[in-house]
C-alpha cells in the first residue's frame, strides 16, 4: 500500500513543500523512507533546515524530532545552519591532504575572509569540509555548488571565485 499524508495542514511547511514530500512518499510504504528527501526538499526551498522546520518535517513523517535530527546530522549535505548561496564542499581526506589541500584551503578562506564552516560576509559562500569526493587522482578537489573542481591550485580558486 502506498502512503499519502492525508493532512496537508502541517504547521511550518509550505503547501509546495508538503506537495513535494507527498509525491516522494507515494513511492514508499514507510513514510520514514523519505526522511532525507523531505529534508532536501525543505532545504531546496529555504536554503537550510532550521530547528522549527526539522520538527515540522518530523511531525509530517510521524517521527520523533530526535530521530530525524540524527539522520540530518549524519547526512552532511543537510545544512542545519544558514549557508551562503554557493556551498563549497572542500575535501579534507588523506589524498587531497597529501597533495597540498591545506595550503589551497587557507588561500580560499583568506580570499573569502572566512573560517571553515562560516558564511562570507556578502552571503555568497560557505566552505564546509567533506570526506573524499571520489576523485583522488585529481587531488586537491572541492565541490563548488554542483560543480566538481579538480586539481585545485590557488589560481584555479581565484578563477572560480572571479575575484
Ligand atoms: S581524498 Fe580528496 S577526493 Fe579523495
CATH of residue 132's domain is 3.40.30.10
What is residue 6's predicted lDDT score, i.e. its pLDDT? 47
- pLDDT-flagged residues of the chain (< 50): 1-6, 8-9
Handedness of CA 11, 15, 16, 19 (dihedral sign): positive
68 lines ligand 1 (CB under 6 A): no
58 lines ligand 1 (CB under 6 A): no
Residue with cell 540530518: 72
What is residue 10's predicted lDDT score, i.e. its pLDDT? 60
Task: Supply the pTM of this predicted model.
Answer: 0.82
The pick from 89, 90, 93 for probing ligand 1's pocket by mutation, whose C-beta has the most ligand atoms within 8 angstroms, reads: 93
What is residue 8's predicted lDDT score, i.e. its pLDDT? 43
**Is the backbone of residue 86 left (phi > 0), alpha (psi -120 to 50) or beta?**
beta
Residue 47 near residue 20 (C-beta atoms within 8 A): no
Domain extent, residue 130, equals 86-161
CATH number at residue 45: 1.10.10
Other CB atoms within a 10 A radius of the CB of residue 132 amount to 14
For the chain, the domain total comes to: 2
Amino acid at each position: 500500500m502506498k502512503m499519502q499524508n492525508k493532512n496537508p495542514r502541517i504547521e511550518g511547511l509550505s503547501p509546495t513543500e508538503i506537495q513535494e514530500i507527498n509525491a516522494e512518499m507515494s513511492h514508499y510504504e514507510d513514510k520514514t523512507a523519505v526522511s532525507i528527501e523531505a529534508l532536501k526538499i525543505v532545504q531546496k526551498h529555504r536554503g537550510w533546515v532550521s530547528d522549527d522546520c526539522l520538527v515540522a518535517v518530523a511531525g509530517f513523517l510521524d517521527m520523533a524530532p530526535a530521530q530525524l535530527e540524527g539522520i540530518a546530522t549524519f547526512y552532511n549535505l543537510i545544512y542545519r545552519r544558514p549557508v551562503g548561496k554557493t556551498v563549497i564542499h572542500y575535501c579534507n581526506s588523506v589524498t587531497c591532504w597529501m597533495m597540498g589541500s591545506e595550503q589551497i584551503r587557507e588561500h580560499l578562506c583568506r580570499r573569502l575572509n572566512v573560517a571553515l564552516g562560516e558564511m562570507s560576509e556578502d552571503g555568497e559562500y560557505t566552505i564546509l569540509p567533506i570526506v573524499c569526493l571520489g576523485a583522488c587522482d585529481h587531488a586537491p578537489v572541492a565541490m563548488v555548488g554542483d560543480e566538481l573542481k579538480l586539481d585545485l591550485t590557488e589560481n584555479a580558486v581565484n578563477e572560480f571565485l572571479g575575484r
